[in-house]
Amino acid sequence: MGHKMNNSSLSVWRPDLDTVAGANVTRMMRRLGIPDYEQYQAFALQEPLAYWRMVSDYCGIVWEKPFDDYLDDSRGAEFPSWFPGGRLNWVQSILNKAQDGEHGAVAAVIAERENGQVIRASYAELAEQVRAFAAGLEAQGLKRGDRIGLLMSNGLEATVTMLAIAYIGAIAVPLFSGFGVDAIKSRLASCSAKALVVSAGFDRRGKRVNVLDTVQAACVDLPTVEILIVHDADSVAEAVPSGLHWLQVLAAGKGHERAAASMSPDDPFMIVYTSGTTGKPKGTVHVHGGFALKIAHDSAIHFNVSPGDVFCWPADMGWIAGSLVLCSALMRGATLVCYDGAPDFPDWSRMGRLIEAHGVTHFGSAPTLIRGLAANEAVACAADTSSVQLLITAGEGIDPEHFVWFQAHFGNGRRPVINYTGGTEVSGALLSSVVIQPISPSGFNTASPGVDVCVADASGNAVQGEPGELVVRRPFVGMTQSFWKDDERYLESYWRTIPGVWVHGDLAMLKDGSFYMLGRSDDTIKLAGKRVGPAEIEEVLLELDEISEAAAVGVKDDSKGQKLVVFLVAPGACADPAAFAQRVARHIQARMGKPFVPAAAHFVSQLPKTRSSKVMRRVIRNLCNDMPLGDTSSLDNPAALDVIRQAIKA
**Which of 428, 497, 484 has the alpha carbon at shortest distance from 280?**
484
Cβ neighbours of residue 58 under 8 Å, at least 6 residues apart?
A: 24, 27, 28, 31, 300
| pLDDT, position 8 | 38
| pLDDT, position 7 | 40
CB burial string 534-567: b at 16+ within 10 A, e below: bbbbbbbbbbbebbbbbbbbbbeeeeeebbbbbb
| HEC string for 518-573 | EEEHHHCEEECCEEECHHHHHHHHCCCCCCCEEEEEEEEECCCEEEEEEEEECHHH
Whether the CB-CB separation of 196 and 148 falls below 8 Å is answered with yes
Torsion of CA 130, 132, 136, 139, to 10 degrees: 120
How far apart, in whole angstroms, are the C-alpha atoms of residue 290 and residue 475? Answer: 11
**Which of 64, 28, 15, 644 has the alpha carbon at shortest distance from 332?**
28
Domains defined along the chain, listed by start:
7-55+291-477+486-517 (3.40.50.12780), 524-649 (3.30.300.30)
pTM for the structure as a whole: 0.84
| pLDDT, position 329 | 98
| pLDDT, position 40 | 98
How far apart, in whole angstroms, are the C-alpha atoms of residue 422 and residue 448? Answer: 10
| HEC string for 54-85 | HHHHHCCCCCCECCCCCEECCCCCCCCEECCC
The letter for the amino acid at 53 is: R
| pLDDT, position 470 | 94
Provide the β-strand partners of residue 210.
201
| pLDDT, position 530 | 61
Backbone torsions φ then ψ of 638, nearest 5 degrees: -55, -30
| pLDDT, position 238 | 62
The letter for the amino acid at 177 is: S
| Mean pLDDT of each 10-residue bin along the chain, 650 residues long | 42 94 98 97 98 98 97 96 98 94 93 96 96 95 97 96 98 89 88 95 87 89 94 72 80 83 98 69 94 98 98 92 96 97 94 98 93 94 97 89 95 95 93 97 97 91 90 96 94 90 90 88 68 78 90 81 89 80 88 82 92 82 82 83 91
